[in-house]
Chain A
Amino acid sequence: MAIEQIKMPQLGESVTEGTISKWLVKAGDKVNKYDPLAEVMTDKVNAEIPSSFTGIIKELIAQEGDTLAVGELICTIETEGSTADETPANTEKPAAPATEDQSKAVSEKEQGQKARYSPAVLKLSQEHGIDLSQVSGTGAAGRITRKDLLKLIESGNIPKAGQKVEPAPSAAPKADEMPASTARPEPAPAQGQPSANIPVVPGDIEIPVTGVRKAIAANMLRSKHEAPHAWTMVEVDATNVVEYRNSIKDEFKKKEGFNLTFFAFFVKAAAQALKEFPQINSMWAGDKIIQKKEINISIAVATEDALFVPVIKNADEKTIKGIAREISELAVKVRAGKLRPEDMQGGTFTVNNTGSFGSVQSMGIINYPQAAILQVESIVKRPVVMSNGMIAVRDMVNLCMSLDHRILDGLVCGRFLARVKEIIENISKSNTSIY
């Protein structure tokens, strides 16, 4: 018998801690290798921690609600029959597992060292508002050294709370290139800020800002801070789409097993228009703009208390049905808390289904570092003056777009929206296949 330790795993590139949201086992339970032990919430994703061993849960060290750094002990498992494994009789065992163990031990140690800050490092980080969790150290076992911080400060590329680490400070603007007033590092925004001075009276509920909420706050703030948002809207006649979709939706549901939503038509139209306007499908990279080849559409999926933006990869290559299926699957995953980090990576443009909760007009915040976000509002019946002078009741929808004015100007966005409008208005049973 041996006692093995389960530690908080690294659940994403820049994830440094996780919160045990729910234990799925209790002390005394028998678990097999890979069985889920606990649900963990990080600022990027909710995930399950699998067991690395087969055995009996000895002790749950972490409590539900505890936030632990990556590498911290969460529970112990008593493994069976491991005595035999440990005897020298087992020498025919190949060397590979040993090295694996070693590398594991090393990486655990690295995690440990990274979070051990010297007084000099702590002092500098406080003076300059540096979020140490985002700094990569060059010291022994990944320790952050005083020199690492001095270099960062000198380069002016100070990672504040909520920002992504820029591994190569060379691309970052130098402190001396900035106007004097901004050269001085500001205190870290969002979660770096101590709680604002809001009086709390009995009956008020205080909700700690953690995990996904914290990430949303940081990302929104960053986008609003860095990207100068401009906004525009077009009105689209979706009557044809509504007729087409309503005529086939029941049969589709029966045949395919998931809903054919209006949203899928809009995502498809956006993907198609992006192919024609690659400028929109780009990102701001400081000294250059990167036009992305792949068209990966981020879609916003809300839960009761959080917002996720999973990605439909290569949306331009998919049919309306394929997109509808992915929207459905991603929504299910989000609601089940099963979204993986890779489901959320690589988005190049966001389409947001604000109409789903009745909005007819909204100003989206761009999903940083993308160049723009398209809000698909509610489809509502309205009297419209038609081209022949008649007044008709039509299914109208507003498409709102926020754009990063560093990358895009009104003209190209207007043309892009006009193209989306054209595609939507011309969809009909006769000329558009959903397959």
Chain B
Amino acid sequence: MAVISYIDAVTMAIREEMERDPKVFVLGEDVGKKGGVFKATQGLYEQFGEERVIDTPLAESAIAGVGIGAAMYGMRPIAEMQFADFIMPAVNQIISEAAKIRYRSNNDWSCPIVIRAPYGGGVHGALYHSQSVEAVFANQPGLKIVIPSTPYDVKGLLKAAIRDPDPVLFFEHKRAYRLIKGEVPTEDYTLPIGKADVKREGEDVTVITYGLCVHFALQAAEKLAGDGISVHILDLRTVYPLDQEAIIEAASKTGKVLLVTEDTKEGSIMSEVSAIIAEHCLFELDAPIKRLAGPDVPAMPYSPTMEKFFMINPDKVEKAIRELAEF
């Protein structure tokens, strides 16, 4: 099994799906000749040509809209938003059209589109290149939101998203692109959307998180293991709709739950996870549910000091776990 980076897993999944199914095509800003600003689509233009790897104008609503239309006509578009921050002009297309068409047409129409977008901070990208936008879409039934943490999960989940009969938002942490490496099988496989994954077994404190924060939690857990604190880590992988069963099981296991997201705290994915635990696990809880999240300010700051203050890191996670363990 080859060890590859997170972004190479993205490219691998798209390439394999395009090879497998001629209906799969890519569209987005600079995805063609340039191979994407992060090089996620590198080599695809050369391999599949301009008909299947389409450079679009700087108009996100058009990228989404064209993709949605093609999907409704039976194609399997993979639309790229250059940064998740820029998805806002396409929100109307995604929420009002893609999410609702199956319901609205009484199952006559569907919209099997994947919209990929790099999200997240810690790369000195400031406010237009650092945001987490998943919560904006996380109360829209009809949508699925996948946020993988490892290259293995990227490949399996992106393939599953492309084959999914309904719209999937696929958010990739841009800092994870070249930071996170892992073993990825060269053969074809998919992972189930809607299923969370236990990334580490533990007894004392449960951490539930997703995306890059999974790695922060794993690092913190490794450090805490030396002090005899055993941490259980659940990676949500799909943040909407949530894997309630896995959340309840993980929370009940230790009775002490830390929820970590890089997004701003109020109304985040973790607010919903917290509500699920509160609804189902009251008599298993041994401590108040604890959330570690970004501060409720409009955006990630540019100043490195302030960005560091905003971002989650292993030290913050470690401190929060320790507090819970000692509670």
Contacts and interface: CB of A to CB of B under 8 A. Distances in A.
Partners in one complex: yes
Interface string B71-94: 000000000000000000000000
A142 B324 CA distance: 14
B321 to A, nearest CB: 14
Contact of A140 (B204, B254, B327): B327
A146 B256 CA distance: 9
Interface stretch (A92-100, A118-126, A158-166): A118-126
B255 A146 contact: yes
Interface in B252-289: 254-256, 282-287
Interface string A112-144: 000000111111000000000000000110010
B256 to A, nearest CB: 8
Given A146-B255, A147-B204, A120 B327 contact: no
7 contacts: A118-B255, A118-B286, A120-B283, A120-B284, A120-B285, A145-B286, A147-B203
Q: Which of A119, A120, A121, A123 gathers most chain B CB within 10 Å? A: A120
A146 B286 contact: yes
B327 A119 contact: no
A146 B283 CA distance: 11
B158 to A, nearest CB: 39
Q: Closest 10 A-B residue pairs measured CB to CB?
A: A146-B286, A120-B286, A120-B255, A118-B286, A123-B283, A146-B255, A119-B283, A140-B327, A119-B282, A120-B284
A140 B255 contact: no
Q: Is the interface of A mostly helix, strand, loop or mixed?
A: helix
Interface string B240-258: 0000000000000011100
A145 to B, nearest CB: 6
A138 B324 CA distance: 13
A145 B283 CA distance: 13
Interface of A: 118-123, 139-140, 143, 145-147
Contacts of B285: 118-120
B326 interface: yes
A6 B284 CA distance: 36
A118 B287 CA distance: 7
Contacts of B287: 118
Interface string B284-308: 1111000000000000000000000
A123 B281 CA distance: 12
Nearest to A146: B286
Nearest to B282: A119
Contacts of B282: 119
A145 B286 CA distance: 7
A111 B285 CA distance: 21
Nearest to A139: B327
Interface in B34-49: none
B163 to A, nearest CB: 41
B286 A140 contact: no
Contacts of B286: 118-121, 145-147
A139 B284 contact: no
Given A140-B326, A146-B255, 13 more contacts: A119-B282, A119-B285, A119-B286, A120-B286, A122-B283, A123-B283, A123-B284, A139-B326, A139-B327, A140-B327, A146-B254, A146-B256, A146-B286
Contacts of A123: 283-284
Nearest to B323: A140
A118 B256 CA distance: 11
A121 B204 CA distance: 14
A37 to B, nearest CB: 35
A194 B204 CA distance: 34
Interface in B197-225: 203-204
A334 B203 CA distance: 51
Contacts of B326: 139-140
A77 B111 CA distance: 74
B224 to A, nearest CB: 15
B302 to A, nearest CB: 38
A152 to B, nearest CB: 14
Contacts of A118: 255, 285-287
A383 B221 CA distance: 85
A120 to B, nearest CB: 4
B327 A143 contact: yes
A57 to B, nearest CB: 38
Interface in B57-105: none
Contacts of B327: 139-140, 143, 145
A410 to B, nearest CB: 51
Nearest to A145: B286
A139 B325 CA distance: 8
Contacts of B254: 146
Contacts of B284: 119-120, 123
A147 to B, nearest CB: 7
B83 to A, nearest CB: 42
